Chain A
């Protein structure tokens, strides 16, 4: 069974500093996608970054980057130069790659990130 684990229920960071959120997952599939979603107080889930399992290169999106370790089944999110607007709940998610059909999303329990001015 696919599971996603986020071991840090809460994290905090000073504005302009760097923070890393951890995520591990369990799957027997070889092809899949990994995502980090952000859920601010407005409650709308927003995609932050995604990683295809077949790509060895870690994904980056501006201040956001991931450390994808496929053998260890680890997928951490690094936020550089943290901003007040980064404060939110962050969810790690996994989706199997089923080719022409898309698999469902499996979510972790989330990490609440606080950014201090």
Chain B
């Protein structure tokens, strides 16, 4: 069974640009969650999607958005990038208790 796939692995963007990150969950998993990881704030929850519906949302500004497709693949979008958005973005796939994580997308905003 293939694991959770996040693309791209690394990304460099300029302030003010927008970015889209992708996550393909494990086959059969309907829940996809996104987390932002930074040295200063640790792991912060962004949002969770289940069967194409956003079920839970963290405390992030509206510049952060996401969606989930019928095949459970998920994308998150960050508009008007700020330097503080530089982080590792982790996606987690879940169907039962255990969450499986991808390798993350390292976003650098310059």
Residues of A within 8 A of B (CB): 33, 35, 37, 42-47, 50, 52, 91, 95, 101-110
Contacts and interface: CB of A to CB of B under 8 A. Distances in A.
A87 B17 CA distance: 37
A42 B103 contact: yes
Q: Which of A43, A50, A106 has the most CB of B within 10 A?
A: A43
Contact of B88 (A43, A46, A95, A101): A43
A102 B101 CA distance: 16
Tell me the interface secondary structure of chain A in the complex.
Answer: strand
A105 B92 contact: yes
A105 B99 CA distance: 9
Interface residues of B, number: 25
Contact of B33 (A33, A46, A105): A105
Contacts of A105: 33, 35, 45, 92, 99
A14 B92 CA distance: 32
A44 B99 contact: no
A36 B88 CA distance: 20
Contact of A101 (B50, B90, B97, B98): B50
A103 B45 CA distance: 12
B98 A50 contact: yes
Contact of B48 (A35, A43, A104, A107): A104
Given A45-B92, A47-B99, A95-B99, 17 more contacts: A33-B97, A43-B88, A44-B104, A45-B101, A47-B98, A47-B100, A91-B43, A95-B97, A102-B50, A102-B97, A103-B56, A104-B56, A104-B58, A105-B33, A105-B45, A107-B43, A110-B42
